[in-house]
Amino acid sequence: MQDRAITFSKNVFLPLTTVCRNRCGYCCFRTPVQAGCLMAPAEVERTLANGAALGCTEALFTFGERPEEEPGFSALIRAAGYPTILDYCEAMCQKSIGYGILPHTNAGILSFEEMERLRTVNASMGLMLETTARVPAHRGSKGKEPEVRLAMIEDAGKLKIPFTTGLLLGIGETMADREDSLLAIRDIHRRYGHIQEIIIQNFCPKPGTPMAAFPVPGTEEICVTIRMARDILPAGIAIQIPPNLVDASSLIGCGVDDLGGVSPLTIDYVNPEHPWPAVEELRKLAGARALRERLCIYPQYIEKRWYDPGLEPLINRLAQTVYGRSGP
């Protein structure tokens, strides 16, 4: 384990809208329908162009879950020239491909048909499970029902989508709940083999939110959870931590494989108070371990061709650049 390289992806973060149907007690990302709640197409393209110039290979597209359920949003997205947020996301993913950056979409709960549609323009996708427990932090957030999230992760497996999921620590769950969540992820992966990485992410309190005064999980507690994940999950699933939210240098030895998507251009819109470390800082965090860049679709899924044929030319080109080889 200690000989394995620590990987990361160079990305741009594109929050297409901050409107969301959920009311999570820890979130500062969500906003009401208002001016600026939709990222304009020109801003998306400008970000993609600048990201491509900086060598970014991943475009992380996010938006609040089911924003059309919020009054006024449907009129807003139609005024921008798109019938739905899904149409907008699909169009911006196409733009990303045109700029030579692979899309990865994390948009909350999507149906089987919606994921099937987005699969044609995404090299990978994701959904944080967060927890299988029912916690007060998710009150008023129907998209955070554990069964709904597990069903979507399973649907992604049926569609052979290279997938990212993970746990959010400190939102009211117990260590037993974390074990249950990891076992649920393991069992789905055993059936479909599509989970390429799992994020062990700590909750960060935000001023003005209902959980602003909640305690933050400490390094030791996070390390215990990482070790548990390593014991439970198959070796092929990478364990990721966010290097802007934790003391990564103290956690690398607990069983970490990956430092996630790090942007030289855009902020972490979910945790804007925590800037990304530069690549040189990542090398220091990795310590004696080698640091290597990766794509948002892991090599084993490139080899299995778990992607839409339309993405093959770009995946091959980027794989040649990042891995020194192209294709399967």
Whole-angstrom CA distances from 316 to 64, 98, 105, 310 are 31, 15, 20, 11
Per-residue pLDDT at 325: 72
Task: Determine, yes or no, domain membership for 203.
Answer: yes
Task: Determine, yes or no, domain membership for 328.
Answer: no
Task: Determine, yes or no, domain membership for 1.
Answer: no
Task: Determine, yes or no, domain membership for 97.
Answer: yes
Which H, E and C letters describe 63-90, residue by residue? ECCCHHHCCCHHHHHHHCCCCCHHHHHH
Instruction: Give the structural domain span for 10.
Output: 6-323
Per-residue pLDDT at 53: 98
The CATH number covering residue 294 comes to 3.20.20.70
Measured CA to CA, the distance from residue 143 to residue 137 in angstroms comes to 12
Task: Determine, yes or no, domain membership for 186.
Answer: yes
Per-residue pLDDT at 326: 61
- DSSP letter (8 states) at residue 123: S
Per-residue pLDDT at 324: 87
Number of domains making up the chain: 1
Per-residue pLDDT of the chain (328 residues; tens, 9 = 90+): 456 899 999 999 999 999 999 999 999 899 999 999 999 999 999 999 999 999 999 999 999 999 999 999 999 999 999 999 999 999 999 999 999 999 999 999 999 999 999 999 999 999 999 999 999 999 999 999 999 999 999 999 999 999 999 999 999 999 999 999 999 999 999 999 999 999 999 999 999 999 999 999 999 999 999 999 999 999 999 999 999 999 999 999 999 999 999 999 999 999 999 999 999 999 999 999 999 999 999 999 999 999 999 999 999 999 999 998 765 5
* Closest to 111 measured CA to CA, from 125, 130, 121, 95: 125
Per-residue pLDDT at 4: 83
Cα dihedral 175, 135, 185, 223 in deg (nearest 10): -30
Per-residue pLDDT at 1: 47
**Rounded to two decimals, what is the model's pTM?**
0.95
Q: Which amino acid is at 252?
A: I
Per-residue pLDDT at 2: 54
Task: Determine, yes or no, domain membership for 89.
Answer: yes
Per-residue pLDDT at 328: 53
H-helix or E-strand containing 208? none
